[in-house]
A and B are shown apart, each in its own frame.
Chain A
Amino acid sequence: MIEVQNVSKSFKDVQILKNVSTVFEEGKVNCIIGRSGSGKTVLMKSIVGLHEVDEGQILFHGRNYTAMNDKQRKEIRKEIGMVFQSGALFDSETLEDNVMFPLRMFSGMSEEECRERANFCLKRVEVVNKNNLYPAEISGGMQKRVAIARAIALNPKYLLCDEPNSGLDPITSIVIDELIQGIAQEYNITAIVNTHDMNSVMEIADKIVFIYKGEKWWEGSKEEIWKTDNKEVNDLIFASELTQRIKKSFL
């Protein structure tokens, strides 16, 4: 479980996050949604410590991450797996080496054990017989899957995904969504997914946090979002005519 308590963050004079508080629950997929520039990525980066928050605190299972020094944070970071929008795979390493990377650094396993574990994770994300390829040699969707494999290599307690579906076709998006949902349930991981893709939200979200102009504007389940009368939420979720029609038929 990750608790965000009264978090604020500014860059120079521009306040990006304003007193955001929420709880991301264990074993569930928590989606952060909002318009571009609303502060979703800043919130995610603040959670993992890539940005220092100005005010408030972030607790990982009750452990106050914001008050920790670098050494203490390092221990928590080993429990976090993160999938970036671009995948952020290491260009100069093969796919297998990318997944083996955190294992070599932290697991204390032998080279053979690391390789076995990496192959297991690659198989889990359905990337097989491609171990010796480089990230540039595979598709964007496959890069995301390898990024997920790398993120789960150390059996993390927390999985954070920053726009995992961006730039992917609808079918590949579904594959990625199912992977994230499956892994969160299988390993009882607290998953946070930052997304624009409303199909994803409706498919996998156990909890939805809507960020609007840096504030937490709304939160609830995907069932509740259909019925909410919050104007900003409706403007985002049901922006297109098609989604409006779907909403009418759903209700």
Chain B
Amino acid sequence: MNLFYHIGRYMLLMKKAIGFPDQKRMFWRNVGKEIVSVGYDSIGIVSIISFFMGGVMALELAMNMENPILPQYLVGLGTRDTIILEFSSSVIALILAGKVGSSIASEIGTMRITQQIDALDIMGINSANYLILPKVTAGAITFPFLCCISMILGIVGGWIVGDVTGVVPSVQYVTGLQYLFQPFYVVFSNIKMFLFGILITSISSYYGYYANGGSLQVGQNSTQAVVVSSVAVLLFDLSLTAIL
């Protein structure tokens, strides 16, 4: 019952949030700010994790394929497909659920308990629309970009680590990257990230918007936002993989 209550309340909040903004100039100004906070500020962590995970993936694949029958280029192919299909979308989304989700939930939650949202409402501003829509828009725009950055750096990480450690020569790795390449995988991954961007920002906003009490409650809601966003990412990942 609790689940349905939250889903219903989330839907109603999204209905309130999604609509024409009161002031377009302010809306785009806020979208700009959110693109920096949601996207630009996440480039560092996404880059570091992607590079190292690409390297680790290449190493582990190489170590598990020490069989003369298996060609070495399979390391490149395996790294490429794993990174493009799952790592750069789902795993990065889970990481962003932690970073971006907790930040959004605590920001909006603090605004709620310090009456800043009440102040917006009293001014006659649709507070849900004003606060949530720019974040969701920024999530939808920046997550696919982060996905592309992750793909490139993950593959490059695998390449460099494979070459430096000598487990897979560059030529073999690049051959693997090109072998049976399906461009749709990149599109598929970006579609997933687009949806994850909307999901993570909106779920976190929901938990922040309905925070009450004090700082303890804001902290609890932030944690809950991360947990629920992560579960939603996994559920949607499974569904989208089955559908697409």
Q: Of A70-78, A167-175, A208-216, which stretch is located at the interface?
A: A70-78
| Complex: A158 Cα to B120 Cα, angstroms | 16
Q: Is A21 engaged at the interface, CB distance under 8 Å to the other chain?
A: no
| Complex: A197 Cα to B118 Cα, angstroms | 23
| Complex: A104 Cα to B29 Cα, angstroms | 12
Q: A84 contacts which chain B residues (CB < 8 A)?
A: 115, 118-119
Interface size class of B (residues with CB under 8 A): 10 to 19
Q: B123 contacts which chain A residues (CB < 8 A)?
A: 77-78, 101-102, 105-106
Q: Is A251 engaged at the interface, CB distance under 8 Å to the other chain?
A: no
- A contact residues, total (Cβ < 8 Å): 24
Q: B114 contacts which chain A residues (CB < 8 A)?
A: 86, 88, 91
Of B23, B26, B116, B118, which one neighbours A50 at CB under 8 angstroms? Answer: B118
Of B115, B118, B124, which one neighbours A75 at CB under 8 angstroms? Answer: B124
Q: B116 contacts which chain A residues (CB < 8 A)?
A: 88-91
Q: B111 contacts which chain A residues (CB < 8 A)?
A: 90-91
Within 8 A of B (CB), among A163-216: none
- Which of B114, B116, B118, B123 is most buried by chain A, counting CB atoms within 10 A of its CB? B123
Q: B121 contacts which chain A residues (CB < 8 A)?
A: 49-50, 77
| Complex: A78 Cα to B114 Cα, angstroms | 21
Q: A95 contacts which chain B residues (CB < 8 A)?
A: none
A48 engages B124 (CB within 8 Å): no
Q: Is B66 engaged at the interface, CB distance under 8 Å to the other chain?
A: no
Where chain B touches its partner, the secondary structure class is helix
**Shortest distance between the CB of B186 and any CB in chain A (Å):** 35
Q: Is B70 engaged at the interface, CB distance under 8 Å to the other chain?
A: no
Q: Is B156 engaged at the interface, CB distance under 8 Å to the other chain?
A: no
Of A74, A89, A91, A101, which one neighbours B124 at CB under 8 angstroms? Answer: A74
Q: A89 contacts which chain B residues (CB < 8 A)?
A: 116
A48-B122, A50-B122, A75-B124 are known contacts. Are A86 and B23 too (CB-CB below 8 A)?
no
Q: A78 contacts which chain B residues (CB < 8 A)?
A: 123-124
**Shortest distance between the CB of B18 and any CB in chain A (Å):** 16
A82 engages B122 (CB within 8 Å): yes
A104 engages B122 (CB within 8 Å): no
A88 engages B118 (CB within 8 Å): yes
The chain A residue sitting closest to B125, CB to CB, is A105
Q: B118 contacts which chain A residues (CB < 8 A)?
A: 45, 50, 84, 88
B25 engages A82 (CB within 8 Å): no
Q: Is B22 engaged at the interface, CB distance under 8 Å to the other chain?
A: yes
Of B22, B110, B122, which one neighbours A105 at CB under 8 angstroms? Answer: B22
Q: A74 contacts which chain B residues (CB < 8 A)?
A: 124
**Shortest distance between the CB of B236 and any CB in chain A (Å):** 30
Instruction: Spell out A's residues near B (CB within 8 Å).
Output: 45, 48-50, 73-78, 80, 82, 84-86, 88-91, 101-102, 104-106
What are 28 of the A-B contact pairs (CB < 8 Å)?
A45-B118, A49-B121, A49-B122, A50-B118, A74-B124, A75-B124, A77-B121, A77-B123, A80-B122, A82-B119, A84-B115, A84-B118, A84-B119, A85-B115, A86-B115, A88-B116, A88-B119, A89-B116, A90-B111, A90-B116, A91-B111, A91-B114, A104-B25, A104-B26, A105-B22, A105-B26, A105-B125, A106-B123
User: What are the 6 A-B residue pairs with the smallest beta carbon separation, nearest first?
Assistant: A77-B124, A88-B115, A74-B124, A88-B119, A84-B115, A82-B122
